[in-house]
Amino acid sequence: MGGILTMDTYGTRLMLTIREYTKQYARKSDALGGLSFFASFATYFAALILGAVYLGHVWLSLPMIVVLAFASVRLYVLQHDCGHYSLFKTKSWNDWAGYALSVVSLTPFRVMQYNHNLHHAHLGDLEHRETTEVFTMTKKEFQEAGVLRRLSYRIYRNPVVMLSLGGIYAYFIVYRWPANTRKVGVTGVLIHNALVFTYVWLVWSVFAWPGLIVLGTSAILAGVIGVFLVYLQHNFEDTYWDRKPDHEFQKATLEGSSSLDLGHWWDIGTGNIAYHDLHHFAPGIPSYRLRYCQNNLPKHLRTKHVIRWPEAIASFRLKVWDEDARKMAPFPPSRRAQVVAAE
């Protein structure tokens, strides 16, 4: 279930009330933005240095790899803020910060910004699923697909494959030449890739193999965390999908995006991006205000529940969108099983 109940008998009034409420949190602060930016970088490099220097000491190096992975995710979230021009007050500060963050996040800034804005614009639209981070078939599409198509989709939606290979494929391979690169700017992506390789070379020059092992391992773990979050942000039982002209954009922002409560330290490590319904409804809210916005929600604007760890894990059994039931559902029985059941 999403983070806020929206469309009831007084849905329009409630939507306006939520909009008025979130305005007070869409205030940008250069001080808070700078603190988030520099503190996150400080944590990142401290974890990288300690992890590389003490690589032979598992009791210290492993925690540092975990901290480094979460710091990488947090830096990506700050880059995402810059893409919405919400981290700092001025456009130029957000741009320069976004470029700087892109090197450690392994994600070209301008292309990420362009593709992410498309994701916001077409959220919950079954006719524009190419803009989603995790592709979803409808139940009918899956049932009518050929054997190879169903098999490939089963493999794709397997949580072990998605969380492991998915992060590696996205951050190490796809983001070297992301979708819409030719539209946004080939030169920028090439410069970004050169900077990423230069950064990796610098780590090698200073720390040799221990540095690359710590950096590479943390990047893989960060990919797992990132894919885990991206999946849960829109793949839960009562999410929202529809087709035009019935598709309602504002309803999709709230009902089609989750509100996760995975703990205070999880929020710190992931830049509060778990409160994704509020983010989609008001993307101008900086990450450093999202948690406060969620926690201070008046009771009449709150949902019956947010998603916590048990439901978050269980959500990975949901594979297709059932247009009739208007819910995410597990894979439907095979045609043969249906025939046997009918007999």
| C-alpha to C-alpha distances, 255 to 143, 237, 249, 309, 320, nearest whole angstrom | 26, 11, 10, 19, 17
Structural domain includes residue 253? yes
Distance of CA 188 to the CA centre of its chain: 23
Q: Is residue 1 part of a domain?
A: no
Domain enclosing residue 250, as ranges: 11-338
Look at the chain and report how many structural domains it folds into. Answer: 1
Phi, psi at residue 326, to the nearest 5°? 55, 50
Task: Give CA–CA dist 328/15, Å, rounded.
Answer: 24
> Mean pLDDT throughout 142-167?
97
How sure is the predictor about 10, in pLDDT bands with cuts at 50, 70 and 90?
very low
CA distance 81 to 98: 8
Which stretches does DSSP call E strand in the chain?
137-138, 320-322, 327-329
* Tokens describing residue 125: 């639209």
Return the pLDDT at 343: 52
CA gap 121, 114 in Å, rounded: 11
Exposure of 43 in the CB half-sphere (CA atoms within 13 A): 20
> Over the stretch 275-323, which tens digit does the pLDDT of each residue have?
999 999 999 999 999 999 999 988 778 755 789 999 999 999 999 999 9
Q: Which residues pair with 2 in a beta bridge?
A: 258
pLDDT of 338 reads 55
Q: Is the pLDDT of residue 336 over 80?
A: no
Q: Is residue 217 part of a domain?
A: yes
Q: Structure pTM?
A: 0.92
Instruction: Provide the pLDDT for residue 17.
Output: 86
**pLDDT tens digits, one per residue of 77-107:** 999 999 999 999 999 999 999 999 999 999 9
343 or 200, which is more confident: 200
| Bridge partners (DSSP) listed for residue 310 | none
CA neighbours closer than 13 Å in the CB half-sphere of residue 274: 23
- The answer to whether the Cα torsion of 65, 66, 71, 77 is positive or negative is positive
Note the pLDDT of residue 18: 87
* Percent over 70 (pLDDT), the chain: 92
Q: Are 276 and 119 in contact (CB under 8 A)?
A: no
Is residue 276 in a domain? Answer: yes
Residue 5 lies in a domain: no
For residue 140, is it within any domain? yes
Query: What is the distance in angstroms between the CA of the first residue and the CA of the last residue of the chain?
Result: 36
Whether the CB-CB separation of 16 and 74 falls below 8 Å is answered with no
What pLDDT, on a 0 to 100 scale, did the predictor assign at position 175?
A: 97
168 CB neighbour count, 10 Å cutoff: 15
The alpha carbons of the chain give a radius of gyration, in whole angstroms, of 21
71 bridge partner residues? none
pLDDT for 300? 77
Average pLDDT, integer, range 27-36:
98
Region 149-172: mean pLDDT is 96
* pLDDT of residue 135 exceeding 70: yes
Q: What is the mean pLDDT of residues 245-264?
A: 92
Supply the pLDDT for residue 334.
Answer: 72
Looking at the predicted structure, is the pLDDT value of residue 7 above 70? Answer: no
- Among 27, 7, 84, which Cα is nearest to 250's? 7
Residue 2 lies in a domain: no
Q: Domain for residue 3, yes or no?
A: no
Partners of residue 125 on adjacent β-strands: 242
Instruction: Check residue 74 and give its pLDDT.
Output: 98
| Residue 340 pLDDT grade (very low, low, confident, very high; cuts 50, 70, 90) | very low
